Structure 1
Amino acid sequence: MPRRRKVGNLLALAVLSALVQQPMHPYEIATTLRAWGKDQDMEIKWGSFYTVVRNMERHDLIAAVESVREGRRPERTVYRITDAGRAELVDWARELVSTPVSEQSRFRAGLSVLAALHPDEAVALLRQRLEQVETGIAAERDALTEHLRTVPRLFLVESEYGLAVREAEATWLRSLLAELTSGSYPGLDEWRAYHEAGGPEPTGPAEGSDPAQ
């Protein structure tokens, strides 16, 4: 079970991953994270960035080392990662890599109410999604191939994972569409009849019924 952390926002993990490289001021940290594409790897709400940094300092995960001024720009505080911050980074990485947690997606939510749509509309929309997923796969594969020319594979492993997940989704979508378009999907006729009769949408098994019957 994931442990409760002093600063649980994943943005804190991203900040630690930047500061473990070298001390930086907040603007430099944010610029670095954007350049690394960290906002594609985890949910980052940039509006809470400075609040997260302050909370990390309050909990001794990072520490101010100096303030610098560049030209007419406001003075900026440079932070370094502390020993506690390094330990947190390692422990958090171990947890995220080793422990699966339930992470609900918008697509799963949509699938949970797929019966609200007419089967023909569902097919059209799933085809639309598949087309966009396949376009994304091609772009991600090209980008990964290009990055591997100059970046060690170890630092692109999250991109490999993302690509594998997209490819798995595309494979599943093709399989579902094949069943829907061939008419072999269980309950398809009843699903269609509900909508064409203008009746209520089909739901799950009635309370107390045996879904295996």
Structure 2
Amino acid sequence: MAKRRKLSNPLALTVMVLLDEGPMHPYQIAQTLRRRGKQHSVKINFGSLYTVVQNLEKHGYVEVTGVQREGNRPERTLYGLTEAGRDEMLAWLSDLIAVPADEFPVFETALSLLPVLPPGEVAELLADREQTLVVQAAAFRGVLTQLGDTLPRIFIIETEFQLHMIEAQLEWVRSFRKELTESTLEGIEEWRTFHDTGAVPEEWKDLDEQDIVLDPGQEN
């Protein structure tokens, strides 16, 4: 089980990883994130970056290491990673890689509530989603090509993973939509009856009487 951390914002972890390369000021951190295309993998609010750095300093994970002066520009405070920050960074990142998290994606929530919509409408909505996923996949391929020309693969591996996840979702959506349009999905007739009559099918009522465990991590 992953340890409960003092900070949970992934942007804080991203900042610590950058500062492990050497001291930077917040504006430089923002520039580096943009240059490396990290906005595709980390929810970055550049306006709150200073607050993130302040929180890291508050917990002793970063510290002021100096001041940078460039011509007539205002002085910029440089921050560096502390030993405590490096320990936290390594432990946090290791947990994220090793321990799958319950992230509750909103699409999974929508799928869990699917019967409230008619099967035909769901098929049409999934067709819309399919088109969007096709566009997203093409966009990520473009990003990978662009970044791959300037960065080693290890620095864009998360974008590669995102593309694979989009492609996997696209494959599933196409398969499930085919089941809907061809009426091969188990239980689709009861689903249609529910919307035709407004009455909950007896087969569904029977499910509520059964002791069914739907948690893959829980034994029967």
The TM-score by the shorter chain falls in which range? 0.7 to 0.9
CA contact (8 A) 2:40 2:159 kept: no
TM-score by length of 2: 0.85
CA distance in 1, matches of 2:94, 2:205: 39
CA contact (8 A) 2:37 2:147 kept: no
Deviation string 1:96-121 (CA, Å, 9 cap, x unpaired) is: 11111111111111111111111111
CA distance in 1, matches of 2:208, 2:193: 22
**What is the letter of the counterpart of residue 20 of structure 2?**
V
Of residues 128-137 and 13-22 in structure 1, the stretch that sits farther from structure 2 once superposed is: 13-22
- How far does residue 145 in structure 1 lie from its aligned partner after superposition? 2.8
- 1:8 and 2:8 are equivalent in the alignment: yes
Of residues 36-45 and 90-99 in structure 1, the stretch that sits farther from structure 2 once superposed is: 36-45
Of residues 64-73 and 24-33 in structure 1, the stretch that sits farther from structure 2 once superposed is: 64-73
3-state DSSP class of the match of 2:63? strand
Using a 3 Å threshold, how does the CA distance of structure 1 residues 204 and 99 change in structure 2: closer, same or farther?
farther
Match of 1:97 in 2: 97
Identity %: 42
3-state DSSP class of the match of 1:207? helix
Deviation string 1:124-177 (CA, Å, 9 cap, x unpaired) is: 000110111011112212321332233111111111111111111011111101
- Give structure 2 stretches of 5+ with no counterpart: 213-220
Deviation string 1:20-44 (CA, Å, 9 cap, x unpaired) is: 2221111221222233232321334
CA distance in 1, matches of 2:200, 2:144: 43
- How far does residue 71 in structure 1 lie from its aligned partner after superposition? 5.8
Aligned residues: 210
Match of 1:147 in 2: 147
Deviation string 1:51-106 (CA, Å, 9 cap, x unpaired) is: 22112112221110223455665442111112222222222221111111111111
TM-score by length of 1: 0.87
3-state DSSP class of the match of 1:3? coil
CA contact (8 A) 1:116 1:201 kept: no
Match of 1:84 in 2: 84
Of residues 75-84 and 131-140 in structure 1, the stretch that sits farther from structure 2 once superposed is: 75-84
Of residues 156-165 and 187-196 in structure 1, the stretch that sits farther from structure 2 once superposed is: 187-196
3-state DSSP class of the match of 2:208? coil
Using a 3 Å threshold, how does the CA distance of structure 1 residues 186 and 88 change in structure 2: closer, same or farther?
same
3-state DSSP class of the match of 2:186? coil
What does residue range 27-66 of structure 1 map to in structure 2 within 5 Å?
27-66=27-66
**What is the letter of the counterpart of residue 81 of structure 1?**
L
Match of 1:156 in 2: 156
